[in-house]
A = this chain, B = another copy of it.
């Protein structure tokens, strides 16, 4: 009973993460209620994404130019490299505002804690980066992987991969979050906070 273009819209948008059929339906009717010019704006926002691709050096997103805006920033220190799982992690760290080094985006960790062939390729790139740009040794590699069983396992793996290629390999601090209350911290967090007291 719904016209085909609306059905199609709901079908396609229902598949997106956190958008179910209910929300897709509401979205469709909302879009139909607004000015067709605004619809054009949304459409071009969509097609704009096609101009985005990956930086071949750190694998963050870029559009235009050979490298991304982080890799080409002369104020950043090439000798310190933070390895993150995904773009959103990089954005969070950038928002914190006190890191001025470079990055490597690893790509989402898969189950079983093994590395995908894509991730192995990115490590290969990083090894080349270290050998070509830093004379074979980085000052520090920071493993900014979430403190989960998964992240811990992968961090150990990376340590082994880059042993000898960096003066230090560190992980992000671990403990009670700022503003968090000891009373409500879970056991594992408290245990780690005690072990890593400083």
Contact = CB atoms under 8 A, between A and B. Distances in A.
Chain A residues touching B, majority SS: helix
A5 B43 contact: no
A6 B49 contact: yes
| This chain's copy number in the assembly | 2
A149 interface: no
A123 B63 CA distance: 51
A30 interface: yes
Given A4-B63, A62-B3, A69-B1, A9 B94 contact: no
Given A5-B51, A48-B8, A26 B17 contact: yes
A198 interface: no
Contacts of A13: 42, 45
B30 A39 contact: no
